[in-house]
Amino acid sequence: MLIAVVELLALLGLFVGPVWFFGGLTLALCMALLVLLLLVLVQTWKAQRLEVWLSRPNWREELAWGGIWGEIVQRIQRQLRQHDKQLSTSDQRLQYFLQAIQASPNGVTLLDVEGRIEWCNATACNHLGLDDKRDVQQHIVHLLRDPSFSKYFAQQEHEGEIVIDGRSPSLAQMPKLSIQLHRYGEGQHLLLSRDITLVTLADAMRRDFVANVSHEIRTPLTVLSGFVETLMSIPLEADEQHAYLHLMAVQAARMQTLVADLLTLSQLEGSLPPGKHETVSLSEVMSQVASDAASLSAILSGQLGDERGPVHELVFDKSTPWCLLGVRTELFSAVSNLVSNAVRYTPAGGVVRAGWFKVPDGVVFRVTDTGPGIAAEHLPRLSERFYRVDRSRSRETGGTGLGLAIAKHVVQRHGGELRIESQLGKGSTFMLFFPASRVVDLTAN
């Protein structure tokens, strides 16, 4: 400002001084007026130029405006630069927050005071079938057409969460969503959605499992307690007593087998995957399995005395040139379950073949029988716990319904898989595939 006044006085001095000296006061005053008029015109033009510039101010522009106008423009540019910096910092922060919310495994939807969608992340779009562009400003209740959600949304306070069906192209796998509304700001709402399909499934499986175990144990327990009551209340002949005690022993053994299988399963589920420190000889496993199969075949035939022998043709290839790195008890249990199934489900006179053979990426244990075979619709569910095709044959032969579940668990823990092939009326083949990383070839040097 001071510079501008000095500039003005200097101009007046420069032009008016000499005129006053040579032409007198009146001419000097006219000259001063003229200079002032010129100055006003120049300043008005500069002010107009500033006004034009202010309509689209840019702090990056290099402007050579001298004097007070230059000063004003520079200050405006400085403030603009600061403002731009603050804006980009806040924008960056907002982007970070949005990216963090996008990365959340839970669905997040922001609703305004009326309940209209302001923003939602990709997970929420998936869960609720929303479109993050098209559905902005749409009312959530109009999009999420679920009576329990509408009721929940209408409440003043949203305590707890509700469970609704999510969106899925297939009805068979309808996902389950947990929905929770939280109030924030000045009446806006945060809608959180969580996929709880697996939790719900696990819950249902646990309930089924407990019901199945209870059912399996209740039957022998009822029989046992019935016999105990009879023995206590009715005087029986010695041979009758003996027959009752034998039946009781069978039921007790059935419960023992069931409990043993349940313990095996829970141990398999609760322990770390098997290491590779133990080298399991497959020939040894085969020898033991073959002798067990012969005994089982003889027992199932119902013959008594020394005469009894296997009633199946058992063809076992016992000399196996491979060892497996894993847990012997587990591997034996898997192989033995498959072999005993083949013997138990194949009628007397049938053939059971078992052996190991090499495949490009590992080794396979294969047991084939000439039993009744299994219809294709049962195959996918066969290794589920307590799933049985032939319930009565399973019970008669001491089955627990857990054999294949154990075999599948064991082979998977060793990095392999269980495969089943069967044709109704022709027989079945059960195979355990083990990867090459677990195989020791005894013939290699």
Closest residue by Cα to residue 436 from 326, 359, 362:
362
Which of 388, 415, 439, 440 is the binder for ligand ADP (CB under 6 A)?
Answer: 388
Question: What's 206-234 look like in SS3?
Answer: HHHHHHHHHHHHHHHHHHHHHHHHHHHHC
- The stretch near ligand ADP (CB under 6 A) out of 91-99, 159-167, 293-301, 393-401 is 393-401
Least distance to ligand ADP from the beta carbon of 332, Å? 15
One character per residue 138-167, x = contact with ligand ADP (rule: CB under 6 A): ------------------------------
Least distance to ligand ADP from the beta carbon of 383, Å? 7
Query: Are 165 and 177 contacting, i.e. CB atoms less than 8 angstroms apart?
Result: yes
In the bound state with ligand ADP, the residue whose beta carbon lies nearer, of 248 and 404, is 404
Least distance to ligand ADP from the beta carbon of 140, Å? 48
Closest residue by Cα to residue 335 from 367, 381, 311:
367
Which of 300, 356, 428, 438 is the binder for ligand ADP (CB under 6 A)?
Answer: 428
- The stretch near ligand ADP (CB under 6 A) out of 138-146, 159-167, 299-307, 401-409 is 401-409
- The stretch near ligand ADP (CB under 6 A) out of 123-131, 169-177, 242-250, 384-392 is 384-392
Distance (Å, whole) CA 401 – CA 217:
12
- The stretch near ligand ADP (CB under 6 A) out of 91-99, 151-159, 242-250, 385-393 is 385-393
Which of 106, 390, 415, 439 is the binder for ligand ADP (CB under 6 A)?
Answer: 390
Least distance to ligand ADP from the beta carbon of 373, Å? 7
Using CB under 6 A as the binding rule, whether residue 421 contacts ligand ADP is answered as no
Least distance to ligand ADP from the beta carbon of 430, Å? 6
In the bound state with ligand ADP, the residue whose beta carbon lies nearer, of 166 and 371, is 371
Q: Which two tokens stand for residue 109?
A: 């939807």
Q: How many CA atoms lie within 13 A of 56 on its CB side?
A: 1
188-195 and 117-120: which strand pairing? unpaired
Residues in 337-376 at the binding interface with ligand ADP, rule: CB under 6 A: 337, 341-342, 345, 369, 371-372, 374
Please name the residue that has the structure tokens 């219809």.
Answer: 375
Least distance to ligand ADP from the beta carbon of 428, Å? 4
Q: Which two tokens stand for residue 416?
A: 């392999």
Helical axes 197-233 vs 238-270, angle rounded to 10°: 160
Q: Which DSSP category does 116 fall into?
A: B
Closest residue by Cα to residue 428 from 339, 295, 296, 335:
339
Distance (Å, whole) CA 372 – CA 297:
16
DSSP bridge partners of 199 = none
In the bound state with ligand ADP, the residue whose beta carbon lies nearer, of 107 and 401, is 401
- Helices vs. strands in the chain: H and E counts, helices first: 12, 13
Least distance to ligand ADP from the beta carbon of 123, Å? 38
Residues touching ligand ADP, count (CB under 6 A): 22
DSSP bridge partners of 184 = 188
Using CB under 6 A as the binding rule, whether residue 404 contacts ligand ADP is answered as yes
Using CB under 6 A as the binding rule, whether residue 403 contacts ligand ADP is answered as yes
Distance (Å, whole) CA 321 – CA 338:
21
Which of 117, 268, 327, 402 is the binder for ligand ADP (CB under 6 A)?
Answer: 402
Distance (Å, whole) CA 40 – CA 320:
111
Q: What are the residues binding ligand ADP (CB under 6 A)?
A: 337, 341-342, 345, 369, 371-372, 374, 382, 387-390, 394, 399-405, 428
